Amino acid sequence: MLNPDSVGSTFAGTDSVTLSQSEIDAFCAVIGESDTTIAPPTFTIRITLTQFEEILTRPEIGLDWSRLVHGDQKFEIFSPVKAGDNLTCAATIESYRVAAGNEIVSVRSDLHRDGKLVISAWSTLVVRA
């Protein structure tokens, strides 16, 4: 079970991440995008889900990642990202509830480049009973 005391808290991700052209190329290839100069709109899930896993499974938070399914997802893109961008990620646990034994957690991630917010993303994650 998620520690309810963590709701409302913001957690910094472990490290900054520098986007490589090859990882953008690979993502574009899957969806058939020929313009690889800019990351596709959902590309940064590659960063945020990894960081969420690291943060939310910390012992003091306690989410069970093995029974997780993705409920919904939203992106707000203030400035698109591209290869060479150095991004930091912070995750805020916005809400938490238990319904029919399922844990439902809403997490916001904020990606910053040079201290400026470039993408906010909201994920609703469901840990199945």
Partner 1 sequence: MIEVGTVLDEKVFYLDRALLKAYADASGDQNPIHQNEEFAVSVGLPNVIAHGMLTMALVGKYVSDFAGGSANVLEYSARFIKPVIVPLGEKVDLTVTATVAEIADGKFSLSLSATSAGVKVLGMAKAVVNK
Question: What are the residues binding partner 1 (CB under 8 A)?
Answer: 23, 26-27, 29-33, 35, 38-42, 45-46, 49-50, 69-77, 80, 122
Residue nearer to partner 1 on the CB measure, 46 or 112: 46
Residue nearer to partner 1 on the CB measure, 49 or 63: 49
Task: Give least dist CB 23 to partner 1, A.
Answer: 7
Task: Give least dist CB 5 to partner 1, A.
Answer: 28
Task: Give least dist CB 75 to partner 1, A.
Answer: 5
Task: Give least dist CB 39 to partner 1, A.
Answer: 7
**Interior/surface letters 43-69, b for 16+ CB within 10 angstroms, e for the rest:** bbbbbbbebbebbbeeeebebeeeebe
Residue nearer to partner 1 on the CB measure, 60 or 99: 99
Element (H, E) at 94: strand 86-99
The three-state secondary structure class of 66 is helix
Amino acid 51 reads Q
Instruction: Let me know: does 54 contact 107? Beta carbons within 8 Å.
Output: no
CA distance 53 to 51: 5
Residue nearer to partner 1 on the CB measure, 6 or 48: 48
